[in-house]
Amino acid sequence: MKLQFTLLTSALLLALPVLAKDVPLSQAADIASSVTPASASPSFNALESQVLTQLRDALKGDAATLTRDQLEKAKQNKTHADKAWLKASGYDFRVKENQQAGIELLSAFSTLPETVINENLKTVTDINRDASQLTRHQALADAEGISYLYFLSDALGPRLGKAFLAAYDKGELGKAAALIKASEVSTGEAKKHFNNPRPFLIQGNTIHLVPDDVVVKDNHPYTADGGSFPSGHTNTGYTDALLMAEMIPERFDALVTRGARYGYSRIVLGVHYPLDVMGSRMVAQRNVAHYLNDAKYRALFNEARDQLRTALEKECGATLAECAKTDGKNDPYRDPAMQTFYRFTMTYDLPQQKGERQSLKVPEGADVLLEAALPNLSTAQRQALMVKTALPAGYPLSGTTPDQQFWQRLNLPAAYALGHHTL
C-alpha cells in the first residue's frame, strides 16, 4: 500500500494542467451534440430513440394520445418505483435542513460582480441561439423526462442502457427508482430566497424559446416559471446521475457527466443561466455525500443498489462488469472529449476572479463520492485526488468558506480518471 500511495502521489504532482484552460463555447457545443442522435454510432442513436419512445409512453399512460396537461401530473407509477418499500422504512430525508444548507452553500451568488452577471446572460444567449436542432431535441426530452430515470440509460452504453430500459419498465428497479427520486432535495426554497429572474424575462433579451416538436409535439414553446437560481432540473439530473453512478461504479464517469449534460440542456432551452446550473451541481454533490454518510440511508441505498445490479445482470444476460464495458464509438459518454465538456460546465467560461487563493480543504466524508468507484484507495488517497484535480480557485460561486470552495471546484470525473488510470 505504501508503494501504491507513493506512485499515486507522484502522478498527482503532474495532474491535469488542462484544468486551468478554458474551453470555447463552440467546442463545448460540438461535444454536447455528440451525445444526441447526431452521434457517429447507429446503436447509440437507436438507444436514444428508444429512450424517447418509452418516455412518451410513460407520460401518456393509458390515454390515447399525449397532451400537455399530462406533463403536469407526470411521475413514476407503482410499477416503476417501490414507494411502499421506502415509506415503510420511515426514513427522514430532513428536507428543510438540507434546503437551508444549500442556501448557505450558494450564498456567494448574492455578491457576484456585475461583469459576471452580464457574462452569465451573454453565455446563455449564445448557447441558446447557436444550439443545433438535435441538441434542442435532446434538451426537450431531458426537460419533460424530469420525473423519470430514462435519461440515465444513454450514459450506460448501448448494451447496459437497453437492459436498464427493460428492467425499469418492468419494475425490477423499484427500490432504486423510489430512493433516487426521494433523494432530490427541492430547490424551491433557494429559488424564493435568491429571487433571480429567468433569462427570457430580462428586458431586451434575445432568448429563443424552443417549440416542442419532440415530446408532446404541439410546437408549444418550452418555458418555465419561478426563480432561476438554482436550477431544479439540474439538481434532479445531477442527483439522479450521481446516485446511479454510486450504484453502478463501472460507469461512474459517464453517469456523472450525464448529470452535467442534463444541466447544459437547461441553458440550450434558454430557461436557465450557467450560474443556475453550476449552483445545482454544488448542492447535489453536497446532498448525495450527506446522505451516503448517514447509516440509515446507506442501508436503504445498499438494498436498492443490490436489487438494481441483480436486475440489470438478468436483463443483460451477463455480469455487470461485462455489460458495462466501454464500446468504442458506440459509447460516446466514454469519449475523452466528455471530460473536456465536464470541465467546461464547471465554469461555462465565466470570468475568474483574481485575489487571495485559499487552499482546498475536503469536508469530512466528502470522499465517499469516490468510494464505490475507487474502492482500493484509502480515504487520504481519495481526498488527495479531489484536491489535485480540482478546478482552479476564483471562479464564480466558489465564495469564501471552505465548503463553497470545495463543492464548486470538485471535478469528480477528473478525480476518478486519474485514480482509475494510475492504479
- The reply to whether 111 falls in a domain is yes
Answer whether residue 381 is part of any domain: no
pLDDT at 423: 60
Smallest CA-to-CA distance from 231 within 289, 188, 193 is with 188
Q: How many domains does the chain have?
A: 1
Q: Which parts of the chain register pLDDT below 50? A: 1-20
CATH classification at residue 214:
1.20.144.10
Q: Has residue 126 been placed in a domain?
A: yes
- 371 lies in some domain: no
Domain that holds residue 82: 23-351
The per-residue pLDDT for 356 is: 63
Question: Within a domain: residue 397?
Answer: no
Mean pLDDT rounded to a whole number for the chain: 93
Structural domain includes residue 375: no
**How confident is the model at residue 5, as a pLDDT?**
43
3-state SS track over the chain: CHHHHHHHHHHHCCCCHHHHCCCCHHHHHHHHHCCCCCCCCHHHHHHHHHHHHHHHHHHHCCCCCCCHHHHHCCCCCCCCCCHHHHHHHCCCCCHHHHHHHHHHHCHHHHHCCHHHHHHHHHHHHHHHHHCCHHHHHHHHHHHHCCCCCHHHHHHHCHHHHHHHHHHHHHCCCHHHHHHHHHCCCCCHHHHHHHCCCCHHHCCCCCCCCCECCCCCCCCCECCCCCCCCCCHHHHHHHHHHHHHHHHCHHHHHHHHHHHHHHHHHHHHCCCCCHHHHHHHHHHHHHHHHHHHCCHHHHHHHHHHHHHHHHHHHHHHCCCHHHHCCCCHHHCHHHCCHHHHHHHHHCCCCCCCCCCCCCCCCCCCCCCHHHHCCCCCCCHHHHHHHHHHCCCCCCCCCCCCCHHHHHHHHCCHHHHHHHHHHHC
List pLDDT tens digits, range 158-210: 999 999 999 999 999 999 999 999 999 999 999 999 999 999 999 999 999 99
Residue 318 lies in a domain: yes
Task: Tell me if 128 is assigned to some domain.
Answer: yes
Q: Using one digit for the tens of pLDDT, what is the confidence trace for 89-125?
A: 999 999 999 999 999 999 999 999 999 999 999 999 9
